[in-house]
Amino acid sequence: MAGNDIDFVWLGEDLGTQHSPLIGLDLFREHIRPRHQRYVDLAKEFDKPVMIHSGSSSWAYDDFIEMGIDAVDTLQPEATDMSPTCMKRRFGDHLAFHGCVSTAGPVASGSVPVVDVCRQTLETMMPGSGYCFAPTHQLQDNSPTQNVVAMYDAVHRYGLYGESL
């Protein structure tokens, strides 16, 4: 078996669009949760964390926590009910978060200084640990190189645990 060669289990899923669920909670619990639970249980047998990818799915986060899911990928700030402040406040003691830097926002357009947005995201998401800085999606070819560099410079400057923001 792969055993120690696996770092974590990632469940690729889309339970929601940017604005609404794709499936109701009852159907999720009846059809999807039991299947995902088998993967979570297997991961936990090997003491591996589990991360799930999903759209606007905060309606299922309590279930994710009950199932033993450790992290959510990708936190998309412009999606309905997915604001970083709300997610951190409501679920930050139970779930880690990956993402949160919009590829449709300042990184792509540069309309707001990228460094300011990244620093604000880090200040919101880092306290108490459980945050992995990342864009919400692959960086697109419309993202100016200087904005991408500024994003990574900001995380190097402000995103170290144990350092003051």
Q: What string of pLDDT tens digits covers the 165 residues of the chain?
A: 566 789 999 999 889 888 888 999 999 999 999 999 999 999 999 999 999 998 788 999 999 999 999 999 988 888 888 889 999 999 999 999 998 988 888 888 765 688 898 999 999 999 988 999 999 888 888 888 888 999 999 999 999 876 554
- Rounded-to-integer distance, Cα 118 and Cα 128, Å: 18
Q: Return the closest-CA partner of residue 8 out of 95, 71, 74.
A: 71
Treating both helix axes as pointing N-terminal to C-terminal, what angle do 114-125 and 84-91 enclose, rounded to 10 degrees?
10
| Contact between residue 132 and residue 108 where contact means Cβ atoms under 8 Å apart | no
Class of domain 3-158: alpha beta
- Rounded-to-integer distance, Cα 126 and Cα 130, Å: 7
